[in-house]
A and B are shown apart, each in its own frame.
Chain A
């Protein structure tokens, strides 16, 4: 029987073995709960509507937080969020421990096992910090209150005089003790069958003991010993290794293939199902042999496909008139006509790959018509839907488990590899592991969208910016609005019919939009003949953005470093700033040019970042540093090149990601705002890097590069 809730935000305690209500999908999860969690109590805490994260339609918005209190007092919190290297497991553990009033090691998290966790959303859009952390804190604060109330009832004490420390109730009479382990005990199960008073308050920032501190990585020793099993490392009894035949080029259709030789090999499963051709064997070696032999017999009907050489004109000519949105403030069109000075430029952004260290991987296992898949995805629920649709199964018969995964960066939102493993496992009647190759990743995964951005600006007689226009073709609308104070503004995003699959990426659109905007701001600076810092500050009223810009430029020594140049020099400095997803960033870089060979390198980067109250300074610093260095890749070298439907550089030997030698002197300034809600930090710190470098290059050489990546060769050709 389900307990009726008096308040929407409060808790529904229950012993799961007594519970038969419709809330849980017990067909699968009752068994799984016991298997996964062991003895104890499951608490389900509804999130009040006010705080619920924005969910797609048809999804409940008051999703329950789910906690399990074990007989040993260990508290397990369940969430559909995943750990892909951004530190979510540690940060969520801190949040839970803070509100439960227990040490960090008394909390464990089960993340993204769809059989037992509530669907509190995928891991994307810097959403874990602003949305999941508060929801989990509320759930855990409710559990803490439940502990107090149960203790008060057990000892006939006044709950208001009780508190919790290290998992023990304080304020009871001499000789009386009560802990989370007691709460989970059989003796108190009855106490959990009643309603509990609502009105949970969360720890204030100034009271934080665990949040706000540099709690070390949870699970670090499993990582350094190699014991942690990533999705690629999952092993099941009798498991085979699968390989998939890829089309010969984009859009190619398989006309015929001979699978007979592969099928006669001992222990090899070979199947063709529509466009899917896959092989499974006891080793990857045998599966690859079978695939490569079969590939020789394949006949493909190829299709025309544009080349990356014509990419930007292709995008312009394939803009959709239906999917376009123009926002106007003031009268930009009129202002451009009458302004003292008008500048217009176009910027280009290449396709790039996430290239996480762990290529896509999945292990699929069928048991009595039910499917379990271990895979690395940022969207476990979406992958479960993809599997249930593909194999025509009820959702409850598909279980997706996401072990902590080897990198995502927005690239693992889809479930192709899970479907491939499941299809092969179905055919082989054994569990199958499929792991994409690096070439698969660089060819068949989706990409950060390429884009073309037109920017125009108008200055009055005093050099003030009075009109702004920003039109983005294909690379996204996020952060398309200028953070500068301009009276007359037009922004427009045009979706394009593009040549490659594209999708999410760490700050995909804001990186492109910031590159265009911040580069163009410096082009206006050149036209107005002023200091880039002064010009920005003159047009900035947002205090938070001003604060990071001043912090970064002070630390960098901008006023001393910047010199307006009429001739080329050996070093150059550049600035950029921006805001995205509620956080603020500014960076300054120094580059050195080698005129003899026409190349340059980044010597120094200073970045100031503010995302509200800092929850874990060590993890935050790591995210900012990671963004800065990853940003160098997209700024300087990374670009997918393609022709005739094939990738020309689908390897690390041809697609150069940042390495140790690319790391300059880096200084990270974290601006803490305990008075403001915490927001995510995994994306925004990347957005200023490319324009800061482009601006530094102009400062040194008077050569303006308007295309990402800023290849050394492009600088040489343009210079």
Chain B
């Protein structure tokens, strides 16, 4: 049985008709063609599917579409504004924080959420915040550097 749902998606109102049990991940990818959010495991273990729900990072593979009714969803596609990369995206590019890049949208959104609650995280806090995100290419060193760079806006200007 399909039902209608309304929520805010990347700053714009979104209306969708879908089975209530379908995951947010599947609806984003299959119904809305927002494929920047990735499927990695389907059990909430790898966080390639991370999106922001009311500003908090959630696993969209574990979130049913009914849960987002009336709420604010941000995906990787909504980060860059008018063709200008978000500072966290910029930091990932500058540090070469990607190998295959499949985990990167999830890593970036987890970082955006971290820096929103804690603009100056220390090493332990970065590791804690990102430990749920798997990178199988194991490019963790450069991802770590990218998060540090993003946490120091002064460095951006250089």
Contact = CB atoms under 8 A, between A and B. Distances in A.
B102 A224 contact: no
Nearest to A435: B39
A284 B76 contact: no
A625 B98 contact: no
Contacts of A663: 140-141, 144
Contact of B142 (A87, A622, A628): A622
Contacts of B41: 438, 651-652
Contacts of B140: 625, 629, 658-660, 663
B4 to A, nearest CB: 16
B92 interface: yes
Interface stretch (A230-238, A255-263, A388-396, A697-705): A230-238
Given A224-B98, A285-B26, A661-B127, A232 B39 contact: yes
Secondary structure call for the B interface: loop
A653 interface: yes
A225 B103 contact: no
A463 interface: no
A225 B99 contact: no
Contacts of A229: 35
Interface in B125-140: 126-127, 130-140
A354 B138 CA distance: 12
Contacts of B30: 241, 283-284
A569 B126 CA distance: 31
Interface in A588-638: 618-619, 622, 625-630, 633
Contact of B102 (A227, A285, A357): A357
A226 B135 contact: no
Contacts of B130: 660
A292 B87 CA distance: 44
Given A216-B93, A284-B30, A357-B40, A626 B138 contact: yes
Contacts of A661: 127, 131
A409 B43 CA distance: 23
Secondary structure call for the A interface: loop
B96 A85 contact: no
B127 A660 contact: yes
Contacts of B89: 221, 224-225
A437 interface: yes
Contacts of B39: 232, 359, 435
A401 B34 CA distance: 21
A153 interface: no
Most chain B Cβ neighbours within 10 Å, of A235, A285, A359, A405 = A285
Interface string B119-158: 0000000110011111111111110100000000000000
B9 interface: no
B34 to A, nearest CB: 8
Contact of B100 (A406, A627, A630): A406
Contacts of B105: 224, 226
A217 interface: yes
B20 to A, nearest CB: 11
A475 B80 CA distance: 47
15 contacts: A220-B96, A223-B104, A226-B35, A230-B102, A232-B39, A235-B35, A357-B100, A407-B136, A407-B137, A622-B141, A625-B138, A651-B43, A652-B46, A657-B136, A666-B141
Given A221-B89, A228-B101, A630-B136, 14 more contacts: A85-B99, A214-B96, A216-B93, A223-B98, A225-B79, A226-B35, A241-B30, A357-B134, A438-B41, A629-B140, A658-B140, A659-B140, A663-B140, A663-B144
